Amino acid sequence: MTSTLETTDLRKAFGGVTALDGATVAFQHGKVNALIGPNGSGKTTFFNCVTGMIKPDGGAVTYDGRDITGKAPHTIARHGMGRTFQLCRTFPRMTALENVLAAVPVGGLLPGLRGARRRSEIDRAMSWLTRLGIEHLAGSEARDMSWGQQKLLELAGVLMSEPATVLLDEPAGGVNPALLDRIGVLVRELNAEGRTFVIVEHNMDLVMSISDHIVVFDRGRPIASGPPSVIRTDEKVLGAYLGV
């Protein structure tokens, strides 16, 4: 199995709090990977370190065999990794279409020239909105959209850069059941088209139904990894979650 995103002995502490405690992890190329674990086990910190949002204190990150440890977020994005945020980042007073366009790197264009964006980019933004089922909201301000719709909007913005690997931080958090099903189907469809996913998610039904490979964190390091069938019955995992 080829891995894509790998870390070796990744470490990060915030003051006296150890968020990542020597995490050595490999996610699989072309698969839907999940990263699960109790609250505070370091999942978001892991995403922040591998996407360059924060610098790890130690350890290494490689993406498709390339050392990306400590590289800037825009550099890592250029290598093909895109991500969403646990607390959804959209511009509340911009329309859905404007939000998706704003997510595209403008390549040094002056702000005043951004309005002169090529028609093709607008078409591409509209097609992602359509693909995610929110094209009818293209002209609505993000603040008037539901939480789940805003999460889809954020994902549309990420997909505008055509990332080979998509990291999703709690895509189902606070999302209603109908949208949740759609997110699951979308992830599988986008994966079938060749995109690798790494998904941090608490909804175990969703995780177990869409993942090929699961890594379980506890206290800043992996305690188990494998397919859903193995993870479901792993005693260390049950212990970490249920205090067994």
Size of the site for ligand ADP (CB under 6 A): 11
- Should residue 7 be labelled a site residue for ligand ADP when binding is judged by CB under 6 A? no
- Should residue 44 be labelled a site residue for ligand ADP when binding is judged by CB under 6 A? yes
Among 22, 30, 40, 228, binds ligand ADP (CB under 6 A): 40
d(CA 220, CA 223): 9
Looking at beta carbons only, is 33 or 41 nearer to ligand ADP? Answer: 41
Partner whose footprint covers residue 45, from ligand ADP, Mg ion, none (CB < 5 to 8 Å by kind): ligand ADP
| C-alpha gyration radius of the chain | 18
Packed helices 177-192 and 147-159: angle between N→C axes, nearest 10 degrees: 10
Single out the segment in contact with ligand ADP by CB under 6 A; choices: 39-47, 67-75, 102-110, 188-196: 39-47
The string of DSSP codes covering 147-162 is HHHHHHHHHHHHHTT-
- Should residue 37 be labelled a site residue for ligand ADP when binding is judged by CB under 6 A? yes
Residues 33-72 contacting Mg ion, CB under 5 A: 43-44
CB burial of 63-102 (b: ≥16 within 10 Å; e: otherwise) equals bbeeebbebeeeebbeebbbbbbeebebeeeebbbbbbbe
Among 17, 72, 109, 113, binds ligand ADP (CB under 6 A): 17
- Should residue 222 be labelled a site residue for ligand ADP when binding is judged by CB under 6 A? no
Q: Tell me, what DSSP letter sits at residue 70?
A: T
Looking at beta carbons only, is 101 or 214 nearer to ligand ADP? Answer: 214
In the block, tokens 């177990």 appear at 208
- Should residue 42 be labelled a site residue for ligand ADP when binding is judged by CB under 6 A? yes
d(CA 35, CA 170): 10
> Which strands make up the sheet holding 165-169, listed edge to edge?
81-83, 165-169, 196-200, 32-36, 213-218, 221-226
| Nearest residue (beta carbon) to Mg ion | 44
As to burial, measured by CB atoms within 10 angstroms (0-12 exposed, 13-18 middle, 19+ buried), residue 51 is buried
CB of 220 to ligand ADP, least distance (A): 7
Site map (CB under 5 A) of Mg ion, residues 203-222, x = contact: --------------------
| Binding residues for ligand ADP (CB under 6 A) | 14, 17, 19, 37, 39-45
